[in-house]
Amino acid sequence: MQSIKQVLSGESLGQPVSIRGWIYRTRSSGGIVFAVIRDSSGIVQTTVKKGDVPDENFGPASNAGIESAVEVEGILAEDDRAPGGLEIRASSFKVVAPSEPFPITEYQSTELLLDKRHLWIRSREQTAVTKIKAAMLRGAREWFHENDYVEVTPPMITAVAPEDSTTLFQIKYFDRIAYLSQSAQFYLESLIYSCERVWALTPSFRAEKSRTPRHLAEYWHLEMEAAWVNNDDNMKVQEELVTAMLEHAAAGCRAELQLLKRDPASLRKISPPFDRMSYAEAMDSLQAGGCEVSWGSDLGAVEERALTKERETPLFVVNYPKELKPFYMKENPEDSRTYKNSDLLAPEGYGEIIGGSERETDNSLMVDRLKEIGESLENYQWYLDLRKYGSVPHSGFGLGLERMVTWVCRLEHIRDATPFPRTVARVYP
Ligand code: NSS
């Protein structure tokens, strides 16, 4: 048995090959069936001629609809009209399991494709996205390993809100209330006192009511935290990590990227250092471009798009006003209105993919801020403890994996960056 990719390499031209997979397209005329077969590695045309295959094969072969599972043996031959220029002339075509009429045909509504997501993920586009995402994750994992980071496993059930208490999913936890994690950051911060450099890949949950093309209620969050690292060094880690992830995608998924109309060379062009712009400069640039913003305006999708649509490489926006960001960030000594933080914006208008900062190390400042925002100190006692026992400068960040995949795969909507998207409107399938 060979993969279709192996078959399409042409090495076995003129020789017998055997494949298995699912019917991707099929038509028959007279005594011949043209069936394009798909497996995880690609598609190839097979021709099944009456008389060339055992008699008991031909009927099922001509009746089998798309998505029937099949096993095919035959001789690999050249054919200009076939995808990839090669076809298999079948000597055997076994239908392992026929398919009922497949509910997804060409030009379906978005709603139907979401209802039938468990079937739609078989599409070539979705398969390409899944593989590119896996390549990016492998790039990240290798980068962290090579740079002495320890992978850790924080809890997903928690009592604290690192980001925004209005977007917490509440759960019944025995006889009390708990929340699904929005970010593993506080747990990663605790672990730097033993491991110094840590990272984790976990689902994060955000009860975002907004229906936007860049928000999921559940997404995969790649987070890191490191001791003795300031905000500048934190950005260097982000540049290197993102570059490693892009390199793995470009090197390992050429064909998949091309299928999605993303030129792998455009990803390879990206390397450190990325451009940096302060929030204040971003405001000036947006105002000059006609956006109605002023100091204190948040950067939403529209503003981020305006800042990056002409760019081919990512952009750091640094030093946001404190009122726009969470309590745990370190004040900027050069401008106390702002924090030592950064958001990394993807190029081509895709917007924020990473949020990061240096962390506040002073316990009393942190207590004051928590009181200001009306949080109960009780739940944060353990987090505040971290500033009592050998507090050190440290920084970290969180990368939204589906946000990055949306950019890399040039997707219009973040839901296509994940096999089973969870949004306000959808938990099925
Ligand atoms: O809220 S973040 O900006 N920052 C944090 O959660 C920090 N506690 C991370 C850290 O420092 N360890 O979220 C980080 C990233 C953000 O840049 C997006 O890329 C992504 O997480 N993100 C999302 N992706 C998809 N859907 C939603 N709703 C979403 N929210 C954030």
Give the ligand 1 atom nearest the CA of 353. 19
Domain end marker among 66, 97, 128: 97
Same-domain pairing of 62 and 175: no
Q: How many domains does the chain have?
A: 2
Tell me the CA–centroid distance for residue 227 and ligand 1, in Å.
21
Same domain membership, residue 128 and residue 25: no
Q: Is residue 429 part of a domain?
A: no
Residues 209 and 292 in one domain: yes
- The reply to whether 270 and 389 lie within a common domain is yes
Domain of residue 45 covers: 4-97
Does residue 220 belong to any structural domain of this protein? yes
Q: Is the CB of 415 under 6 A from ligand 1?
A: no
Mark whether 407 and 300 lie in a shared domain.
yes
Measured distance CA(46)–CA(87) in Å, rounded: 5
Place 290 in a pLDDT band, splitting at 50, 70 and 90: very high
354 lines ligand 1 (CB under 6 A): yes
Q: How far is the CA of 336 from the centre of ligand 1 (A)?
A: 24
CA of 125 to the centre of ligand 1 (A): 26
304 lines ligand 1 (CB under 6 A): no
> Does one domain contain both 59 and 183?
no
- Output the pLDDT for position 106: 86
Using most ligand atoms within 8 A of CB, pick from 219, 345, 416 the residue to mutate for ligand 1. 219
- Give the β-pairing of 170-173 and 176-180: antiparallel
* Arithmetic mean of pLDDT over the chain: 96
Q: Report whether pLDDT(300) > 90.
A: yes
Q: What is the DSSP letter of 208?
A: -
CB of residue 406 inside a 6 A radius of ligand 1: no
The pLDDT value recorded for residue 165 is: 83
pLDDT at 92 over 90: yes
Residue 58 is assigned to a structural domain of this protein: yes
Least reliable range by pLDDT among 32-36, 143-147, 368-372 = 368-372
Which residue, among 203, 227, 196, 193, has the nearest Cα to 153 in the 3D structure? 203
* 396 within ligand 1 shell (Cβ under 6 A): yes
Q: Ligand 1 pocket, 353 CB below 6 A?
A: yes
Does one domain contain both 136 and 50? no
Q: Are 210 and 403 in contact (CB under 8 A)?
A: no
The whole-angstrom separation of Cα 202 and Cα 206 is 13
Domain limit, last residue, from 62, 97, 132: 97
Instruction: State whether 31 and 149 are in the same domain.
Output: no
* Band (339; pLDDT cuts 50, 70, 90): very high
In a domain, 102, yes or no: no
Residues 56, 138 within the same domain: no
| Reported pTM | 0.97
Q: For helices 401-408 and 124-146, what crossing angle results, to 10°?
A: 120
Q: In terms of domains, do 93 and 121 share one?
A: no
Indicate the range of 149-153, 368-372, 396-400 predicted with least confidence: 368-372
Kindly report, residue by residue over 257-279, the tens digit of the pLDDT. 999 999 999 999 999 999 999 99
* Mean of pLDDT values over 55-62: 96
> Looking at the domain assignment, is residue 373 inside a domain?
yes
Q: Is residue 33 part of a domain?
A: yes
Euclidean distance between CA atoms 226 and 240, whole angstroms: 15
Residue 166 has a pLDDT of 86
pLDDT band for position 107 (50/70/90)? confident
Which CATH number characterizes residue 26's domain? Answer: 2.40.50.140
| CB-based contact 237:149 (threshold 8 Å) | no
pLDDT of residue 30: 87
Distance 214 CA to ligand 1 centre (A): 11
Final residue of a structural domain among 36, 67, 97: 97
Tell me the mean pLDDT in the region 271-296: 97
Residues with Cβ within 8 Å of residue 185, at least 6 apart in sequence: 162, 223, 225, 328, 396, 398
* 123 and 87 assigned to the same domain: no
DSSP state string for 65-115: -TT-EEEEEEEEEE-TTSGGGEEEEEEEEEEEE--PPPS--SS--HHHHHH
Q: Which tokens in the block code for residue 378?
A: 């009780």
Please report, for residues 301, 310, 343, 354, 392, the alpha-carbon distance to residue 412 in angstroms, rounded to integers and kept in the order given: 13, 17, 21, 19, 42
Looking at residue 160, its pLDDT comes to 85
- Torsion (CA) 295, 300, 306, 307 in degrees, nearest 10: 70
Residues 356 and 238: beta-carbon distance below 8 Å: yes
Say whether both 258 and 296 belong to one domain: yes
**Residue 91 covered by a domain:** yes
Asked whether residue 422 is assigned to any structural domain, the reply reads no
- pLDDT digit string, tens, across residues 195-242: 999 999 999 999 988 889 999 999 999 999 999 999 999 999 999 999
Contact by Cβ (8 Å): 208, 160? no
Pocket test for ligand 1, best of 238, 403, 413, 416 (most atoms within 8 A of CB): 403
- CATH classification at residue 407: 3.30.930.10
Query: What percent of the chain lies above the pLDDT cut of 70?
Result: 100
